[in-house]
Structure formats: structure tokens, C-alpha cells
Amino acid sequence: MKTDIFDIKGQKAREYDLPDEIFAAPVKTHLIYDAVRYQLAKRRQGTVATKNKAAVRGGGIKPWRQKGTGRARAGSIRSPLWVGGGTVFGPQPRNFSIKVNKKARKGALRSTLSLKAQNQELVLMDILDLEEGKTRLAVNILADRGFGKGTGILILVDGGYENLKRATNNIPGVKVIDLAGLNVYDLLWYQKLIILTSALPKLEEALA
């Protein structure tokens, strides 16, 4: 699968032969679905908690005798029926994470990258580092490539590129991510994917 590589000015520099096993693989939607569920579940803290009748302080003595008062029977002032009492079936700390094995996560990444390539949402660029971490420089470079305001752009780099990261921090809808942090959720969330050629060899090695 051949595709064009563009320079920092948005002009075609050369062609690159993308490996079919990564960028032309069968799109397995069930793997993509499981990978997104896996990521979103890991984000949940699961630390919410409420106190039941046993955990609320006080209520260790019967408020009045069982019979003869004309009032309903009561065994504790911390009953869920009372103000200040415990909560019935309230949320408790739990682990929301689900298990998706490494092979399935790799397959989901290959499927998502192939989907990007099929939809022509994949762009390869040469060195994109900036002399300064100025937002204006990053905006001009993206504009030269035809990416206007409102376009979600994910830029994949292989470490470094601190000026580029600093320059894109203030641009809504633009995110620079290191190769180690590549994930299915971000690939789906952002409309366009820009991969720098310096990250391609390690990407191919990781997903081969």
C-alpha cells in the first residue's frame, strides 16, 4: 500500500510503502469495541462509597422499649428509615476494569489504523519539529496541509518534539501523542491521523 509523504510545507516529498498487515488488515469491529471498553473501564476510579446501617456511627442502643409505647417498633436510630440512617444498597468501592489480552489489543490497533487508511484519514509527514514552541507556527503548518479549525488531529511522534507539543497545547482538537501511548480510543476520537516518518519503523515493529 503506497502513500505520499509530505514535508513541513505541505508539499509531497516521496512515496512510502506501508505494510499491508498493519494498514490494510481486516477491520474487526468487535476487537475495536472491546479495546474501547477496556480503555474507558480503566479510567473509572471505582472509589465511590456509602455507609450502610452497620457503618454509620451511633445507634447502638434501642431507642425505646419494644411494647407499650404506642409507637412503631425500632431497634436502632441508624435504620435506613430514619434521618441520618444508613443507605440501602448504596454504591461500594469496586474494580471496573475488564480483561483484554495483548494480542486482541494489537489486533484492535491494526484494525483502527487500517480503517483510517481506508477512509483516507491517514497522513504521513517528515520531521515536524519547530524551532520554537509557538502556537502560531503549529497553526500555520496545519493550515498548509489543509487542516482548518474544527478538524480533530492526532499527531503520532516517537518521543521528543517538545516544541511541537508545547505549540499544540492551546489548539483545540489537536493532540500530540508518543508512540508508547498510541491507543484505539484516540484514533477513533480524532478525525485525522498524522504519523511522522521517524515513528513508522517502531510502529511497524510493535504491531508486526
Identify the bridge partners of residue 166 per DSSP, sorted by sequence position: none
> End-to-end alpha-carbon separation of the chain, Å?
15
| DSSP label of 158 | S
Which residues of the chain register pLDDT less than 70? Answer: none
84: left (phi over 0), alpha (psi -120 to 50) or beta: left
Helix axes 29-43, 102-118, angle to 10 degrees: 120
Q: What pLDDT is recorded for position 131?
A: 78
- The tens digit of pLDDT for each residue in 48-71 reads 999 999 999 999 999 999 999 999
| Residue ranges per structural domain of the chain | 2-44+101-207, 47-95
- Determine the Cα–Cα distance for residues 192 and 188; give it in Å rounded to an integer: 9
| pTM of structure | 0.82
Q: What pLDDT is recorded for position 15?
A: 86
Q: What pLDDT is recorded for position 144?
A: 78
CATH of range 2-44+101-207; options 3.40.50.300, 3.40.1370.10, 3.60.15.10, 3.40.50.150 = 3.40.1370.10
- Determine the Cα–Cα distance for residues 143 and 149; give it in Å rounded to an integer: 9
Q: What pLDDT is recorded for position 14?
A: 83
